[in-house]
């Protein structure tokens, strides 16, 4: 083992017990039937935070969001003149489906070979809880502390709609110098990684309708419009044969990376061969002939998440499907806006509705734009020095192709410089059955929480006026 893994401390019995209690709560924020579990989880978190000396916490529900999972807000005063850290995380988790593919119960944490298997073990319960365990340790040592603010929400996996809508209202309570997030991955060979940018995300559903009901494919074949064929044609029209996005106006305004950013992203990424070994597929998606790092970190995407139409059971059923559905998500980059890309795609699809059919776009989740922080940020310099004490190789920089939609919103309303450092690995299988988190990863995240909180408290970040 190398780098961080040589020096991380062990997780103590109390912390492990609390971690397991947190994981047992089925806080699937996207499922209204599990709102009571989300409320239970938020209440548990409030009590946990109040158990750390000096913290005050509350469950917040803004007007119009009474049926949404509550937001946990907490604050602890710091030394006079010290900087302010706003720490963000989410306690909601992905659904456990497909349940039959789990090797252990999805909501019963199971420790095996140094890893904890459970939904949320990594994303994001394990990461933020470990970070706060590091803060708890620093408080217990009587170490220097900045002012600490915490916001933990229950809707990140479904778009953060309540927190995004309420952010302006909460702005006076969220003002900070640094926005710390522990919800990302380490670099290759578990080298520490600072995320310098995130893509934004937008998603929607397309429904296509033909006849009022399925028709006999013999009697009506060649005459009635076929919704399954129609949705396939619509989806295929979004890209050219070489994989480039074919939607007019979709790429307008994109801010390309600098040469320095592109070089740093390449240093912090795995090779194509490593990618294929890790995922089981070659990195051949996206636009042909364009560098993989550029495709994944700095270019937008339109992805089909699912298509549903007609009959899919055993044997065959000779019908012409009456309706079809496609679930589509888009990752966007700085310079693009959610409204702009939605308008471009809507125009594109409306112009291509198959003859005799009706299209509906619904379930629109506008998400949030992407964000990018200059490599010259003093917050990055502080983080790099801190992480170099973990690992003599020092950190790499990443521009994450994934999204944490609310980060750009919190950046705007808080005035804070985002600092995203996480300790995930691909083997954690977040969003999939058999999600897990290594106890070594947990300990590394806890150490990071302790050390970066101390470093910020002793820094002049606040006197720099929140430079980003």
At 264-276, the pLDDT tens digits run 999 888 889 988 9
Report the percent of the chain where pLDDT is more than 70: 97
- Identify the band that residue 194 occupies on the pLDDT scale cut at 50, 70 and 90: very high
> Residue 53 is part of a domain; what is its CATH number?
3.40.630.10
Residue from 68, 78, 58, 91 nearest 170 by CA: 58
Q: What is the pLDDT of residue 424?
A: 97
Cis peptide, bond prior to residue 2, ω within 30 of zero: no
Residue 315 sits in the same domain as residue 382: no
Is residue 17 predicted with pLDDT exceeding 70?
yes
107 contacts 119 by C-beta, under 8 angstroms: yes
Q: Give CA–CA dist 290/239, Å, rounded.
A: 15
Specify whether 424 is located in the same domain as 327: no
The model's confidence at residue 463, banded by pLDDT at 50, 70 and 90, is: low
* Whether residue 173 sits in one domain with residue 41: yes
Same domain, 41 and 107: yes
Residue 60 lies in a domain: yes
Q: What is the pLDDT of residue 2?
A: 46
Residues 192 and 241 in one domain: no
Q: What are phi and psi of 438, to 5 degrees?
A: -75, 145
Confidence of residue 7 (pLDDT cuts 50, 70, 90): very low
Q: Which of 344, 367, 390 is the last residue of a domain?
A: 367
> What is the predicted pLDDT for the residue at 166?
96
What are phi and psi for residue 332, nearest 5 degrees?
A: -120, 160
* 98 and 111 together in one domain: yes
Q: Are 238 and 376 in contact (CB under 8 A)?
A: no
The reply to whether 253 falls in a domain is: no
Of 328, 352, 367, the residue that ends a domain is 367
pLDDT, one tens digit per residue, over 145-156 is 999 999 999 999
Same-domain check for residues 99 and 206: no
pLDDT (tens digit per residue) in 46-59: 999 999 999 999 99
Both 228 and 127 in one domain: the answer is no
Pairing of strands 178-181, 417-420: parallel
Q: Rounded mean pLDDT of 373-386? A: 95
Confidence at residue 141, expressed as pLDDT on a 0 to 100 scale: 96
pLDDT, greater one: 72 or 463 = 72
For tokens 């578990």, the residue is 190
Structure tokens at 285: 């998606």
Dist CA 87 CA 132 (whole Å): 9
Q: What's the rounded mean pLDDT across residues 95-100?
A: 96
- Tell me the mean pLDDT in the region 185-213: 95
CATH at 321: 3.30.70.360
Domain assignment present for 257: no
Does residue 157 lie in a domain region? yes
Place of tokens 């349940």: 99
Q: Give the up-direction half-sphere exposure of residue 279: CA atoms within 13 A in the CB hemisphere.
A: 13
| 266 domain-assigned | no
pLDDT for position 1: 36
Could you give the CA distance from residue 433 to residue 438 in angstroms, rounded to a whole number?
A: 16
What confidence tens digit (pLDDT) does each residue in 254-306 have?
999 999 999 999 988 888 998 899 889 999 999 999 999 999 999 999 999 99
Instruction: Indicate whether 250 belongs to any domain.
Output: no
pLDDT in the model for residue 331: 94
What are the tens digits of pLDDT across the range 315-356? 999 999 999 999 999 999 999 999 999 999 999 999 999 999
Q: Tell me: do 395 and 343 sit in the same domain.
A: no
Is the bond leading into 98 cis (omega within 30 degrees of zero)?
Answer: yes
Q: How many domains does the chain have?
A: 2
The β-bridge partners of 304 are 328
Tell me what pLDDT residue 464 has: 54
How far apart CA 180 and CA 131 sit, in angstroms, is 10
Residues of the chain with pLDDT > 90, as a percent, come to: 88
Range(s) of the domain holding residue 58: 3-199+370-464
pLDDT at 5 exceeding the cut of 70: no
* pTM for this entry: 0.85
What mean pLDDT is reported for the chain?
94
Domain shared by 120 and 219, yes or no: no
Please state, in angstroms and rounded to a whole number, the distance separating the CA atoms of residues 244 and 290: 10
- Give the residue-averaged pLDDT of 4-21: 77
pLDDT in tens, 137-177: 999 999 899 999 999 999 999 889 999 999 999 999 999 99
286 domain residue, yes or no:
no
Residue 378, in any domain of the structure = yes
Higher pLDDT, residue 40 or 408:
40
Which pLDDT score, from 0 to 100, does residue 3 have?
53
- Quick one: pLDDT band at residue 39, thresholds 50, 70, 90? very high
Q: What is the pLDDT of residue 466?
A: 46
Name the pLDDT band for 468 (thresholds 50, 70, 90): low
Of 367, 382, 409, the position where a domain reaches its end is: 367
Assess whether 363 and 384 both reside in one domain: no
Report the pLDDT value the prediction gives residue 368, as an integer from 0 to 100: 83
411 and 377 in a common domain: yes
């Amino acid at each position: 083992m190398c780098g961080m893994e040589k020096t991380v401390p062990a997780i103590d019995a109390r912390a492990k017990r609390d971690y397991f209690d947190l994981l047992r709560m089925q806080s699937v924020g996207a499922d209204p039937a599990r709102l009571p579990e989300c409320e239970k989880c938020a209440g548990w978190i409030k009590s946990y935070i109040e158990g750390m000396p000096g913290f005050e916490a509350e469950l917040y529900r803004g007007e119009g969001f009474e049926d949404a999972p509550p937001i946990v807000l907490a604050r602890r005063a710091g030394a006079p003149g010290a900087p302010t850290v706003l720490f963000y995380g989410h306690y909601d988790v992905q659904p456990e489906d497909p349940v039959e593919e789990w090797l252990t119960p999805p909501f019963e944490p199971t420790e095996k070979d140094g890893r904890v298997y459970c939904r949320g073990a990594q994303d994001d319960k394990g990461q933020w809880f470990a970070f706060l365990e590091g803060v708890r340790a620093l408080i217990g040592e009587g170490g220097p502390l900045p002012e600490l603010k915490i916001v933990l929400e229950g809707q990140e996996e479904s778009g953060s709609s309540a927190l995004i809508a309420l952010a302006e209202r909460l702005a006076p309570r969220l003002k900070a110098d640094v926005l710390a997030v522990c919800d990302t991955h380490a670099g290759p060979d578990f080298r520490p990684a600072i995320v310098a940018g995130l893509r934004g995300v937008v998603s929607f559903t397309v429904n296509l309708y033909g006849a009022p009901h399925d028709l006999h494919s013999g009697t009506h074949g060649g005459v009635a419009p076929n919704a399954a064929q129609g949705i396939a044609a619509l989806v295929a029209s979004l890209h050219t044969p070489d994989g480039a996005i074919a939607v007019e106006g979709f790429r307008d305004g994109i801010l390309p990376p600098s040469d320095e950013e592109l070089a740093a992203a390449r240093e912090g990424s795995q090779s194509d061969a490593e990618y294929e070994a890790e995922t089981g597929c070659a990195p051949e998606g996206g636009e042909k002939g364009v560098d993989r790092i550029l495709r994944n970190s700095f270019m937008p995407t339109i992805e089909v998440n699912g298509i549903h139409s007609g009959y899919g059971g055993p044997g065959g059923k000779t019908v012409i499907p009456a309706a079809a559905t496609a679930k589509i998500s888009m990752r966007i980059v700085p310079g693009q806006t959610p409204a702009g890309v939605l308008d471009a795609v809507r125009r594109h699809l409306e112009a291509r509705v198959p003859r005799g059919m009706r299209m509906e776009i619904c379930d629109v989740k506008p998400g949030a734009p992407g964000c990018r922080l200059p490599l010259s940020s003093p917050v990055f310099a502080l983080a790099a020095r801190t992480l170099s004490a973990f690992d003599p190789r020092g950190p790499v920089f990443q521009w994450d192709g994934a999204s944490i939609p609310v980060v750009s919103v919190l950046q705007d309303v808080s005035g804070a410089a985002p600092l995203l450092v996480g300790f995930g690995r691909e083997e954690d299988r977040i969003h999939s059955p058999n999600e897990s988190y290594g106890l070594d990863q947990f300990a590394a995240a806890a150490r990071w929480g302790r050390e970066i909180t101390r470093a910020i408290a002793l820094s002049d970040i606040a006197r720099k006026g929140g430079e980003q």
